Structure 1
Amino acid sequence: MKISTRTFPCVSRTQPCKRRFILRRCLVFDFDGTIADTLGEGLIIYNELAEKNGYNLINPDQLDNLRELDTNGLLKHLGVPKRKLPFHLATAMRRLRSRIEKLSLIEGVQDVLPLLRERSEQMGILSSNIPENIENFLEVHGIRDEFSFVSSIGKLSGKARHLRSIARTFSLAPGEIIYVGDEIRDLRAARKAKVEVIAVTWGLNSRRSLSRENPTFLIDQPSELLDIV
């Protein structure tokens, strides 16, 4: 796992707080669909690869149905062999690199990040995207200093193991971490790692599909993070 860190003054757990919230020792965000609105560009890139490799194309009117599927279901529907996924993912990340400046922040995220950082000793990102894309996006939008670390796993699976690695890196118990993600696989990884998870409905998977995974919390707007953290 690649972890790039940046330090900032941490809030002490014993520091008096004016608000009634629980200070989280570590708040970890997914990137694509949770912080960055990558769906539009991701769809364009997928269709470029699908046309070249003979996979099923995605039309915008299919998105509501596709948002109900987990990763395996989506690959089956699209006709993408699972064994070729690492290669295609790497290609997609390289293509996304040249489009970073086209990507928008999820509306409302920038407003809550400073407050969330104050309520966490560590706040970082754990993503399947590559470090260069994440770092460039954060710099473009002026929010790199809000995060104390960026962790990239470079593939779609393995987030549970990397959540445990983050716990070891910062000497945390699993219960001292909370993960924020928009996909079914994020929720399953958090459950496997025994960490709490906030499922957000503004990303890839639908509210209904996320709810079926019984996340610790389920929210529809970034401002709702302030009611939890």
Structure 2
Amino acid sequence: MKYIIFDFDGTLANSSDVFIKAWNVFANTYHYDPITYEDVLATKHLTLHQRAKQFNFPMHKLPMIIPKVYKYFNDHIQEVNLFDGIKEMLESLDREGYKIAILSSNAKENIELLLQTEQINAVSEVLTSSRIFAKDVVLKKFMKQQKLTPDQIVYVGDELRDILACNKVKIPFMWVSWGIDGIEIIEKENPKYVVHTPSEILNTLS
């Protein structure tokens, strides 16, 4: 195994509070329902499209809303932190010789800013997908550029769309339980690994 690729929001970054605030800031403008943290917890068993339907979110307007949400994220980056144990886990993986990358739908500027703030030097590359359901395209391109085979990569993420993307390109997937999606919708896609703490990521890969 050469590369460990991490999702960002919900996997490395504890950004749910900022995203909830951003969601609610634009709720009136785009005519969908505001949410609370309790709403997020209560819908962990639902897919993204099912959540959108429950809160009357217009998925067809996603290309208009997402850039505004990420701009809000950038303006409130000081409110975002890494989950406890993430920095130590990344540093340990780096010392063990793994190459570490991030693949996210969030803006590259936001990710790099948080990494700089948290003094994270272990990440060698930040990849972004402009479409939230097209991570498989980025992964396929990355493998071609780096001359990698799927068995040389593990992708670590928290969402159904992450594992669906990995399954399309045959990359092993590690699901983290502290993110946005629940095991109910993940397990049917057969993740290779399931972990519950950042230290478990390190122990499993080691």
Q: Give 1:98's aligned amino acid.
A: D
Moved more, 193-202 or 49-58: 49-58
Per the TM alignment, residue 121 of structure 1 is displaced from its structure 2 partner at its CA by 4.3
Q: How many residues align?
A: 205
- The runs of 5 or more residues in structure 2 that have no matched partner are none
The DSSP-based 3-state class of the residue aligned with 1:84 is helix
Distance 2:149 2:76 in 1: 38
Does 1:49 find its partner at 2:33? no
User: Contact 2:40–2:180 (CA<8 Å) still a contact in 1?
Assistant: no
Structure 2 partner of 1:19: none
Cα 1:120–1:180 change in 2 (3 A) is farther
Aligned position for 1:10: none
Question: What is the rounded CA distance, in whole Å, between the counterparts of 1:131 and 1:194 in structure 2?
Answer: 25
Q: State the partner residue of 2:104.
A: 127
The structure in which a higher percent of residues are helix is: 2
Amino acid at match of 2:7: D
Deviation, 1:141, is: 0.4
Q: Is the 2:5–2:154 Cα contact (8 Å) retained in structure 1?
A: yes
Q: Report the aligned-residue RMSD.
A: 1.3
- 2:42 aligns to what? 65
Deviation by residue 1:30-79 (Cα, 9 ceiling, x = unmatched):
00111111101100110111122220121333222211111211221121
Moved more, 44-53 or 124-133: 44-53
Percent identical pairs in the alignment equals: 29
Alpha-carbon distance, 1:215 to partner: 0.7
| CA distance, structure 1, for counterparts of residue 147 and residue 14 of structure 2 | 32
The residue aligned with 2:125 is 149
In terms of mean alpha carbon deviation, does 108-117 or 128-137 score higher? 108-117
Supply the AA of the counterpart residue of 1:152: T
Deviations 1:175-205 (A, max 9, x none): 1111000111111111111000100011111
TM-score (normalised: structure 2): 0.94
Deviation at 1:103, TM superposition (A): 0.6
CA distance in 2, matches of 1:116, 1:214: 24
Q: Do structure 1's residue 138 and structure 2's residue 110 form an aligned pair?
A: no
Residue 87 of structure 2 aligns with which residue? 110
Gaps of 5+ in 1: 1-23
C-alpha distance in 2 between matches for 1:55 and 1:94: 19
The 2-side partners of 1:122 and 1:147 are apart by 7
Bigger Rg, which one: 1
